[in-house]
Amino acid sequence: MIEEGALLDRVALVRERIARAAERAGRDPAAVTLVAVSKTVPLAAVTVVYRAGITHLGENRVQEAAEKFAAFRPAGLTLHLIGHLQRNKARKAAALFDIVQAVDSLALAETLSQACRERPAPLPVLVEVNLAGEESKFGVSGDEALPLLRGMLALPGLIPQGLMTVAPLVTDAEAVRPVFRDLRRLRDRCQDALGVPLPHLSMGMTNDFEVAIAEGATLVRIGRAIFGERA
Ligand SMILES: *Cc1c(COP(=O)(O)O)cnc(C)c1O
């Protein structure tokens, strides 16, 4: 059973918190896109938030997303791959997703580039950076981001649009503010060095999205604050 009323209340609350965080930072709330993370969430709940106007959805597994969105893919829905992508799933990902957020090697970028030959339009991609250097997380180091972006710019079919990170899980979101600030500074340096726009900073999840917005997030990936705790 989907509790539609509770779901819609949570969507409204998250939107309000995003708007307030943007305003506090002197930013236009429209510059922050809410990506509702629907991993493990049944399609019935996804359609409820879509009808409430949420048009950006994030999934972290290619196979789960393929099954979920086989029957529900309205025009105007933007599907983000936010999880680690294995090279052997690149073809499927290039066919299914509108943006791939977690590119973390040139080998993967090359495979995706080839897979994009079958796409009608180039694929927007972000580089996942593991700024805290956590062993358990995917992503390149801060030093590797610029060379990877440079390599990706030379590949047909891909449009590098910025950086993504998953901050360490902490109880006090303020503790990860330096991670978000460092990602923004790294993006600025890459943009200057490459001379191309890198408009997107994908950072901020349920526990820390307001701090991420204060530090310049343009894409916030929010699961539990919308859909409730995952089973
Ligand atoms: C699950 C997930 C999220 C959403 O996390 P919540 O804490 O539920 O908001 C965001 N980004 C990535 C990469 C995820 O895997």
Q: Is 222 in the pocket of ligand 1 (CB under 6 A)?
A: yes
DSSP state of 106: H
| The pLDDT of residue 135 | 84
Q: How confident is the model at residue 29 (pLDDT cuts 50, 70, 90)?
A: very high
For residue 43, pLDDT over 90 is answered with yes
| The pLDDT of residue 218 | 98
For residue 26, pLDDT over 80 is answered with yes
Among protein residues, the one with the nearest Cα to ligand 1's atom 4 is: 223
- Give the type of residue at 17: R
DSSP state of 157: T
Q: How confident is the model at residue 183 (pLDDT cuts 50, 70, 90)?
A: very high
Whole-structure pTM value: 0.97
Pairing mode, strands 56-59 and 78-81: parallel
CA–centroid distance, residue 39 to ligand 1 (Å): 8
Q: Is 218 in the pocket of ligand 1 (CB under 6 A)?
A: no
Q: Is 206 in the pocket of ligand 1 (CB under 6 A)?
A: yes
pLDDT tens for each residue of 127-162: 999 998 888 889 999 999 999 999 999 999 999 999
| CA nearest to 215, candidates 81, 24, 16, 83 | 24
Residues 28-45, mean pLDDT to the nearest whole number: 97
Taking the C-alpha atoms of residue 53 and residue 66, their distance in angstroms, rounded to an integer, is 22
Considering only residues 186 and 71, tell me which one the structure prediction assigns the higher pLDDT. Answer: 186
C-alpha distances in Å from residue 230, one per residue of 20, 40, 226: 26, 7, 11
Average pLDDT, the chain: 96
| The pLDDT of residue 56 | 98
Q: How confident is the model at residue 196 (pLDDT cuts 50, 70, 90)?
A: very high
pLDDT tens for each residue of 51-89: 999 999 999 999 999 999 998 999 999 999 999 999 999
